[in-house]
Structure formats: structure tokens, C-alpha cells
Structure 1
Amino acid sequence: MYLKLNTKIILGFSIALSMLLLTSLTAYFSIQQLASSTRLVEHTYRVIQYTSDLRMQIRDAQSSLRGYLLTSDSSYLSHSEGYLPAVLVDYDSLRRLTADNPGQLQRLDTLRQIIDHEAKFLQHWRQVKPSADAAKGLLLSDRHTLERLRNVIMRIKDDEESLLSHRSARQNFFEISTPITLVVSAVLAILIVLWLFVKISNELKANARLQVELAQVNADTKRRIQIIEGLADRVVQGDYTVRIRDKEQDSLGNLATSLNRMTQTLDTAFGALENRNKELDQFAYVASHDLKAPLRGVMTVVKWIEDELPHELSEQMRQYLGMMKGRLARLEDLINGILAYARIGRTQHTLEMVDVEQLVQDVRELIVPTDFVVHTPTALPAFITDRLSLEQVFTNLMSNAVKYHGSGAGTITVRCTEKQKYYEFTVADDGPGIAPEYHDKIFLIFQTLRDRNTAESTGIGLSIVKKIIDEHQGSIRVESAPGEGAAFIFTWPKK
């Protein structure tokens, strides 16, 4: 099971801390047990000591009384009387020390009876007249009591010595095991810490090697991605012959193979498209020369008929000839519009600094009648762009504003709003307006809202405008309603 480095470090330190905690608890337990065993051994020694002292005190009391009976020295008598309180003090101490031992308490009860009997016995002999026979009688009379006293004290001492042996063995065990436990626990903790250190060091070295390998892979991947980006940039610039030499069997290699196939397909497709454009150019040439030449010939014939046979033409014939001239003029406008529409996007764009305010004024002077007012309520920008295309857009929009305005003077308003990456221009008029259901239709080629018999209504002007704006990656829309004029809003990139 794979664990992260942080998890391994935390796990290792947790084990080490657990071992240290276990070592501390073991040491604490061992020390406590050693201290307890030491106290018990000391307790046993005190019991034995008090037992020996008590027996010695009774023997000394008897010896002092015997000395009094032999020598008649009263000092021996006072000494004999002083030993009894000491005996009782030792007995009380033994009673406290063996309070948790029922067997010893029974023996101490027997001992107390002996002590009381001995006290009365000695008190009796203190009143006897001193003599050698009295001393001998004391010794012979107290022999049995002293033997009982010795037996009881020996049983007390034997029991305590048995406890002492057990407690000393336990004390010795903890004296030996406690240091060993401490050393073993410390060694285990050190070994765990060393193992943890080795594991962490190995992990860090492995991570360092992995980082080097990843850096190498990243550098190689970055280089290959830059090659792919270079291919994309060249494709954007129109070079479809570029190829990537990447034979690696991975995702980037597969992507490179797919991009190579894409560029090959694009190269083939755009080659075919170029051939179609050449054919379209050839068609435009034929339309402009081969179609317009006979068209002008027909118009010339009509003019000759009107000029040379003015008196022979009836009014109906004149009306027919006028209709023919209108149809011929409209056909010529259609041909010119088709040529203009076909040439959009296939001419070289020349970038230059364009003052839109001045451009609008130039267009106004060329196509706007004097009875129309061109109003610019907002400042129009100056920026580097394709002047010819932008001028053609303004020309068509302002021309439509005049053409479809109807009779009388009018007002054309041109305004601009600056956005982050483009300018938003508005060309508005106060004409008859356009119904909402026709807002999308008017941008289609040959679509017009005017009578098709009207010579100037070909339905190509707004199609040209939309195609130019699409070529420059902009957008156009109309906001209008019948009787409220029309506002054409289009965007134009800053760069």
C-alpha cells in the first residue's frame, strides 16, 4: 500500500512517540514497584527489629530485677520498672505495622497476654526480700514464661522473615528489570527513530529524483507544446504546409499526428478553395466585361430609338422603353453589387491611422444631400485600422439612410461607445423605420423591402456591410420600429 511522505512521517513519529510513552510508563511502573518493594522490605525489617527489641526489653527487665534480688541495690529495681513502658511502646509499634496481617495479629494477642503476665510476675517479685535464693527462685519460676515468649517471638520473626524473603526477591527483580526495561525501550525508540530517519531520507531522495524527472518531462512537454503552438500560429497566419515531426507514442504525439492530418486536410481544402476563388474571379471578370458590354449595347439601342424615332413612338411605346431602361439599369446595379460582394475579403487590407470623425465628414460630402444633417453627439475615435473597409461600411449605411428616407430633409446621427476590445458605432436615421420581422431579412443578399422595379433597390448594400464586418470579426444588428427610424449598430475591433 502506497503512503504519502507526510503520512509516513506522521506515522513514524507516532510510533516513536508511542514507544517513548510506553518506555516512560514502564519506567514509572518499575520505579513504583521498586519503591513499594523497598518500603515493604523496610517494613519487615522494622517488625523484626521491634520484635527483637521487645524480647530484649523483657529479658533486661528480668535481669535488672534479678540483680536487685542478688545485691539489694535499688538502682536495679528502678531500671527493671523502666523497661515495662518501653516494652509496651514496642508492642504498639508492632500492632500498627502488622495491622494488615491477621496471622501476626493473633500472635501479638498471645504476646500481649505473656507481657501482661510477665508484668504481674515481675511486680510480685519486686516485693520479695532480696536474697540469693529469691534470685534463684525468680529465674526458675520465670523459665516457662520466657520460653513461651521466645516461641511466640520466633513465630512472629519467622513469618516476617518469610515475607522478607518474598519481598526481597521482588525488590531484586525490579532492581534488575527496571534498568533493563529502560534500556530496551530506549534502544527500541532509537531504532524506530533511526528507521524513520532512513525511510524519510530515502523518500526525500526519491522525491528529489522524481522532481528532476518531472522537471525534465515538463521541459520536454513544454518544448513539444511550443512546437504545437507554433504550428497553430502558422495555421492562423494561413500556412497550411507546416508539419510536426513528433514520433512519440503518447497523447502529445497522437495530437501532433492529428494536427498533421488536419493541416494536410486544410492545405487540400484551401487549395481547392483557392481554385474556386480563381474561378469566381474569372466569373467576375466575365460579368464585368462580357455581360456589361451587351448590356450597354442594348441601352445604346434604346437610346437610339428614342433619339432617332421621337415622332414615330407612341406613348405606350415610350412607356415600354422607359421600363426597359429601368430594368437594364437595375441589372447593371445588380452586376456591380455582385462584383463588389464577391471581391470582399480577397483584397489586401492596408492598415493606417484613421480619424473616424474626418472619415464620416468625407462620406457626408460625397453621398449625403445638403438638406440632410449629419450629427455626431459623441466623440469619434482615431485608431489604426483598414480605412477602405470602414469607409465602405459607413458609406453604405449612410447611403441607405438617405435612399430609404423618403421625401424631405432628414437627420443622420453617428455615435460611438468604447468597449474593452472594440468600438461600437451607431448610424441612426429618422426615416420610416423597419418592422421587427424584417430585422434579420435585410442583411441577406438580394433581399429588399422596396419594390424590385425601383432601380436603386438591389438588396446588396447591407449584405456587403455585413460581410465586411464579419471579415473583421465584428457584429451588426438593427434596432427599429415602423415610423421611428432605424439605428444600425455594429462593432469594430480596436486592433
Structure 2
Amino acid sequence: MKLSTQILLAFTLIILLSVADSYTNYMMSKKVQLNSHFLARSEEIIRNSNKTHKAIIGMQSAFRGYLLTDDKIFLDSYFEGLKSVPNLFKVQKKRIGEHNAQRMLLDSIEMLHNDWLKYSKKLIESGKKDEGSLQTTLKKHVGKKINDEISTKFTRFDKIEYKRRKHHSIMLLTSLNYTRTFSLIFITLTIIVGVISTFYIMLITTKRISSMVRLAENISKGKFTSIQDTRNDELTALATSLNSMSGKLDKNIRELENRNAELNKFAYVVSHDLKAPIRGIHNVITWIKEDLDNELSHELKRYLNIIPQKTKRMEALINGLLDYARLNINVPPELIDTNALVREIADSIVPRNFTLEISDDLPELFTERIKLEQVLANLISNAVKYTPQEKGIIKISCRKFYKHYEFSVKDNGIGIAVEYHKKIFEIFQTLREQNEQESTGVGLAIVKKIIDDQQEDIIVISKVGAGAEFIFTWRNS
């Protein structure tokens, strides 16, 4: 399965869980809303029930006061009730709806109230005119019975409403609890799926990318290995490309090594073959001077003296080419005391009349001796060649940085013009005249090639007549 498909599936699952959570919350919120609405309406029903019952009781109290005192002022509350109670019944019916037990109770309460109104109206209209009929009606407790039955039915009405209210309160709390529970479950599942998916994808990708990084590092170090990746996704294509690159580089490096070996053998053979006629020319000139010294003119002797100088220069060029060719040879690194190495080189190169200053803090390095030795030897030799011997001064020092050392070889020689600072590192480039055999133009080219192969840097600080300072970096292996 492709990596993009796995990521898509993980995100799809997370989105589905989020949708399920949202849908569940929506449904639960609807139930919460319905129950909350019912409780609010129930509150109004109970309040209206109490208000209606209170208004009826007020009418009854006013009616009894009138009967006891025959004072019509008591009937004010009675007549107010005649106006308000029907509206209260109308509102209550609208709130409780049709076809339920409460509606039947409310209808029966209204009927009883209407019966009581008929009873009370009859008594009010008869007043004191029919004293006997009034006393008879009162003795039968007709009004009391109706009032008691109305109170009983109101109690039953309120009891039913409180019972329904309690049920919906429980439903409301249950809905709220379910909402919290489901939200917690879905959030937990979303987090778990997200975390597991993230860690899984990170684990498989990080592990595989790390193996590819190691492969790239091995390739950079010349170890052309390969990795096994059996998954069929985007990273597999990258692993396949790296393996292919590693294989091709390994093949090309082997071919280059074989060709370099052949070139080295060819260089040795050619150098030997080239040196032979040079030595022959030198020997012939020597024999001529020995055998015909008295017969040669002064001018011819001068010409014959030039020929050995040219042959020596040719031999020096051949030796330089051999040294340049040997730079491809790798030797194992070893621990080197650079202070001792510099003094050893200086003893064989620097003339006795030179002033040599070697810093005491030259480090110990674990590196390839032959390469560092060639760099130092060529730079010191270059300083000797381009410095007048009367007052020659050569200073060699080193500074330590975080990951590398910075060596300096400084002289007080003739200096180098700025426009030649890069050109001097090209092979066969020299600041001396071509008839001066000491300079072949190969030494600094060897230095530059070694520095580049080691992935280090070298610069020259100089101007004409002010000496030169070569600064190069070198890492501890």
C-alpha cells in the first residue's frame, strides 16, 4: 500500500470519527433541546395551574364572604374571576394539547367550575328573597362538594404534571450525560487513532529514511552498499533509485581504479623511457666536454652548458608528473606529530642561512601522513624558492577551530601579484623564468589537488614584494 494511501486512510478514519461525534452531539443536543423546552413549558403549565386554582379559590372566598355579610363589595373578586378564569383555562388547554389525561382532568375541572358558577349565580340572584331555599342549599353543602372536587382534580392535575416533569428532567440529565460520554469516547478514539497513525507512519518512514540516509552516507564515504525495501510505495522508488545509483557508482569507481592503476603503470614506464634518453643526452654532452674540451670555442661551451640545465628541468618535470600521478594512492591514516613532521621536512629543504620559526602548538593529527607531508613539503619548498636567502624568514603556525585546524606557511619572499593568486595552483604554472630549473609549476598543483580531494580549503595572502602566506585547513580523521 502506498504511503499516501495510508495517510489518506488515517485522515479518513479521523474525519469519520469526527463526523460521528458531530452527528451524535447533534442528536443528543436535539433531545436536550426537546426536554429543556418541555420543562420550560411544564413550568408554565404548573404556574398557570396554580394561578387558575388560586383565582377559583379567590372567587369561592369572595362568594362565601358575600353570603356571610350580604355585602356586595366581596363580589369584586368574584366578578374579576368571571373574566380571568376562562382565559386561564383557554391558555392551559393550548399548552397541554389534546387527548391526554391532563386534558380530561382540565375539562372536568372546567365543568365543575361551571357547575359552581351556576350554583353561585343562582344564590347571588336569589339573595335574601328566598331565605328558606338558601338555607336548604347551604345545608346540603353543594358548593363545598364542588370546591373539594375541584381541589382534588387540581391536585391530580399537578401530580401528573410533576411526574412528567420529573421524567423529562431525568431524560434531560441522561441526554447531557450521554452527550458528554459520547463526546469523550469519540474524542478519545480520534486522539488514539491520530496518535497511533502518526507514530506508525513516523516509525515506518523514519526507519526507512534513516536507512536511506545511511546508504547515502556510505556512498559518500565510498562504501557502495544497498538496502532492502519490500514495501510498494513512494519511498520504495527512492530506495530503488539509491540502490541503482550505488551500484552504478560502485561499477564506475572500480573502472576508474582499474584505469588509474593502468595509468600509474603507464606513467612509471613512460617516465623510465623518457629519463633514459635524457640521461643519454647528458652523458653525451659530458663526453664531448671531456674529449673535445680544448677544441671547443667559448661560445660552443656556453651552449653545451645550457643543455644539461634543460635536461635537468625535463627530469624535474617528469618527477613532478610522477608525484602528481601518485596522489590517487590511498594509505591508512596514522597518528602524526605535525611539529616533528614539519621539522623533519624543514631539515631537508630549508637552507641553514634561513630563519625558521615553527609554532610550538602544532597538533597531533590522525590522518594520511603522505598527503599532509606532500602539502607541507611543497609549501615550504615554494617558500624557499621564492625567498632571497640573505634574509629569508619562514614562519609555520597552526590555529585550532571547532572541527578543523588551520595551518599557515608564511615567508618574506618576492610575493605574488593578486591576478596570479588562482593561476599559481594550475599545473605547470610558475612565476620563475623557464630557464630556471628549480621551478616546475607542479608543486602547488599537487597541493591544490590534495586539498580538494580532502575537501579542505586553501588560500594565499600576498602582494608583490611583501612575501606570501599560504593558509590551508585540515581535519582530524
TM range (shorter): 0.7 to 0.9
Q: Please say which of residues 263-272 and 207-216 is displaced more in the overlay.
A: 207-216
Equivalent in 36, 49, 53 of residue 48 of structure 2 = 36
Is the 1:416–1:425 contact (alpha carbons within 8 Å) kept by the matching residues of 2? yes
Tell me what 1:418 maps to: 400
Equivalent in 142, 157, 180 of residue 164 of structure 2 = 180
- Deviation of the 1:347 alpha carbon: 3.5
Tell me what 2:260 maps to: 277
> Cα distance 1:311–1:426, how it changes in 2: closer, same or farther (>3 A)?
same
Q: For residues 170 and 321 of structure 1, what CA distance do their matches in structure 2 show?
A: 148
- Deviation of the 1:475 alpha carbon: 0.9
- Deviation of the 1:419 alpha carbon: 1.2
Secondary structure of 2:432 counterpart? coil
> Cα distance 1:8–1:485, how it changes in 2: closer, same or farther (>3 A)?
farther
Tell me what 2:304 maps to: 321
Secondary structure of 2:237 counterpart? helix
Q: For residues 348 and 94 of structure 1, what CA distance do their matches in structure 2 show?
A: 124
Q: For residues 462 and 247 of structure 1, what CA distance do their matches in structure 2 show?
A: 51
> Cα distance 1:206–1:308, how it changes in 2: closer, same or farther (>3 A)?
same
- Deviation of the 1:452 alpha carbon: 1.5
Q: For residues 143 and 197 of structure 1, what CA distance do their matches in structure 2 show?
A: 74
Equivalent in 353, 365, 368 of residue 383 of structure 1 = 365
Indicate whether 1:238 and 2:230 are aligned: no
Tell me what 1:262 maps to: 245
Tell me what 1:250 maps to: 233
Percent of counterpart pairs with the same letter? 35
Secondary structure of 2:375 counterpart? helix
Q: For residues 378 and 7 of structure 1, what CA distance do their matches in structure 2 show?
A: 75
Residue type of the alignment partner of 1:265: K
Equivalent in 415, 418, 423 of residue 433 of structure 1 = 415
Tell me what 1:135 maps to: none
Q: For residues 195 and 294 of structure 1, what CA distance do their matches in structure 2 show?
A: 103
Q: For residues 309 and 349 of structure 1, what CA distance do their matches in structure 2 show?
A: 55
Q: For residues 202 and 189 of structure 1, what CA distance do their matches in structure 2 show?
A: 20
Is the 1:424–1:491 contact (alpha carbons within 8 Å) kept by the matching residues of 2? yes
Tell me what 2:334 maps to: 351
Q: Root-mean-square deviation (CA), in Å?
A: 4.1
Indicate whether 1:311 and 2:294 are aligned: yes
The structure that has the greater radius of gyration is 1
Indicate whether 1:446 and 2:432 are aligned: no
Indicate whether 1:190 and 2:177 are aligned: no
Give the aligned length: 418
Q: For residues 436 and 171 of structure 1, what CA distance do their matches in structure 2 show?
A: 115
Q: Please say which of residues 172-181 and 357-366 is displaced more in the overlay.
A: 172-181
Is the 2:17–2:189 contact (alpha carbons within 8 Å) kept by the matching residues of 1? no
Residues 125-152 of structure 1: CA deviation (Å, up to 9, x unaligned): xxxxxxxxxxxxxxxxx739x89x99xx
Q: For residues 83 and 179 of structure 2, what CA distance do their matches in structure 1 show?
A: 54
Scaled by the length of structure 1, the TM-score of the pair is 0.71
Indicate whether 1:53 and 2:61 are aligned: no
Map 1:50-199 → 2, pairs under 5 A: 50-58=62-70, 87=71, 90=74, 143=129, 176-177=160-161, 179-180=163-164, 183-184=167-168, 186-187=170-171, 190=174, 193-194=177-178, 197=181
Q: For residues 466 and 243 of structure 1, what CA distance do their matches in structure 2 show?
A: 33
- Deviation of the 1:490 alpha carbon: 0.4
Indicate whether 1:297 and 2:280 are aligned: yes
Is the 1:228–1:244 contact (alpha carbons within 8 Å) kept by the matching residues of 2? yes
Is the 1:378–1:416 contact (alpha carbons within 8 Å) kept by the matching residues of 2? no
Q: For residues 416 and 338 of structure 1, what CA distance do their matches in structure 2 show?
A: 30
Residues 335-386 of structure 1: CA deviation (Å, up to 9, x unaligned): 000000110131413312x222222222222211122222245722223222
Secondary structure of 2:296 counterpart? coil
Is the 2:461–2:469 contact (alpha carbons within 8 Å) kept by the matching residues of 1? yes
Q: For residues 246 and 355 of structure 1, what CA distance do their matches in structure 2 show?
A: 46
Is the 1:20–1:186 contact (alpha carbons within 8 Å) kept by the matching residues of 2? no
Equivalent in 333, 345, 348 of residue 363 of structure 1 = 345
Q: Unaligned 5+ residue runs, structure 1? A: 59-86, 104-114, 119-141, 151-157
Residue type of the alignment partner of 2:425: F
Tell me what 1:332 maps to: 315
Q: For residues 344 and 182 of structure 1, what CA distance do their matches in structure 2 show?
A: 97
> Cα distance 1:23–1:338, how it changes in 2: closer, same or farther (>3 A)?
same
Residue type of the alignment partner of 1:90: F
Residue type of the alignment partner of 1:190: T
Is the 2:226–2:246 contact (alpha carbons within 8 Å) kept by the matching residues of 1? yes
Is the 2:416–2:462 contact (alpha carbons within 8 Å) kept by the matching residues of 1? yes
Is the 2:359–2:396 contact (alpha carbons within 8 Å) kept by the matching residues of 1? yes
> Cα distance 1:184–1:27, how it changes in 2: closer, same or farther (>3 A)?
closer
Q: For residues 286 and 155 of structure 2, what CA distance do their matches in structure 1 show?
A: 143
Q: For residues 239 and 382 of structure 1, what CA distance do their matches in structure 2 show?
A: 28
Equivalent in 456, 473, 477 of residue 491 of structure 1 = 473
Q: For residues 283 and 418 of structure 1, what CA distance do their matches in structure 2 show?
A: 41
> Cα distance 1:43–1:272, how it changes in 2: closer, same or farther (>3 A)?
same
Secondary structure of 1:374 counterpart? strand
Indicate whether 1:467 and 2:449 are aligned: yes
Is the 1:433–1:483 contact (alpha carbons within 8 Å) kept by the matching residues of 2? yes
